[in-house]
Amino acid sequence: MQINKKKWVIVTGANGGIGRALCEEFTNSGHHVLALDLNDVPNNDLVHAVYMSLDLNQYALDQDYAESVNKQLVSTVSSGNLLALVNNAAVQLLENSRTMARSVWDETLRVNLSAPFFLSQAMLPLLEVTYGAIINISSIHASLTKKNFVAYATSKAALSALTRNMAIDLGARIRINAIEPAAIETDMLKAGFKGMDEKYRELESFHPMGRVGTPSEVAKLAVFLASEEAGFIQGACISATGGIHSCLSDPS
């Protein structure tokens, strides 16, 4: 008799708005979620099977730390099969090109680009066994951005490029795709517009859909990309922008 093994998914940035939605949607679809975040403890509403603290900045810098983390990850998911890795965690440090400190640039690239690559690289042997999937949460800023987002936008553009290029290396055994959301209704977004209801409504109106996206919409797309139903989607960077990526901004 064949024993059904646990279907594991690893999600970084699990405590954030999109991260929490990812954990919930993957759990609802029958997966065991290994949730990773910088905080020592999970948020109270986080739906997960196992939680681990992970400093992605240190993970990208310190090989000994990374190897220790990798051993813990492999040990945890060894009770089943690793079906997907979702590289969701990111930092958004806003600074102008004229004044940006090296520390801002370096941390952004380490957390948003280097760590997802090295974590993906470490999980490749497990994902190859299951013909699994890697989903990178990129951003509309990969192609369209605004002032003071140079570090963040560059990191997301590179993450989308990484997705396309790794697909060539990985071939048929592992699928890798990215989601490029526009504004998503997270606690962080709402906090940035606290006391500015009119500005928030203006942000919503900029999207042809008349609203910003929800974390669950991003998460459900990630669940689909991890599934067999998305079996021919490889190296894609999928826009989830409510149509704003097609808008021309001009004075008219």
CA distances from 243 to 212, 233, 234 (A): 10, 21, 22
pLDDT at residue 1, rounded to an integer: 36
Residue 138 CB partners (closer than 8 Å, separation 6+)? 156, 159, 160, 163, 178, 179, 180, 237
Residue 250 lies in a domain: no
- The domain that holds 161 is classified in CATH as 3.40.50.720
Better-predicted residue by pLDDT, 244 or 29: 29
d(CA 170, CA 33): 24
Which amino acid, 193?
Answer: F
Question: Residue 36: is its pLDDT beyond 90?
Answer: yes
Q: Would you say residue 211 lies in a domain?
A: yes
Helices 150-170 + 115-130 axis angle, to 10: 30
pLDDT averaged over the chain?
94
Task: DSSP letter for 148, please.
Answer: T
Q: Is 1 inside any structural domain?
A: no
Active site residues: 152
Contact 85, 134 (CB under 8 A): yes
129-143 pLDDT per residue, tens? 999 999 999 999 999
pLDDT of residue 94: 93
pLDDT tens, position by position, 8-20: 999 999 999 999 9
Q: Does a structural domain hold residue 248?
A: no
Does residue 252 fall inside a structural domain?
no
Q: What percent of the chain has pLDDT over 70?
A: 96
Type and span of the H or E element at 133: strand 133-137
pTM of the predicted model as reported, rounded to 2 decimal places = 0.94
50 part of a folded domain: yes
Task: Decide if 153 is inside a domain.
Answer: yes
Residue 43 lies in a domain: yes
What range does the domain containing 205 cover? 6-241
229 versus 197: the higher-pLDDT residue is 229
Domain count, the chain: 1
Quick check: 251 pLDDT over 70?
Answer: no
Q: What percent of the chain has pLDDT over 90?
A: 81
Q: How do residues 73-126 score in pLDDT, each as one tens digit?
A: 999 999 899 999 999 999 999 999 999 999 999 999 999 999 999 999 999 999
Q: Is the pLDDT of residue 50 over 70?
A: yes
- The phi, psi pair for 134, rounded to 5°, reads -115, 130
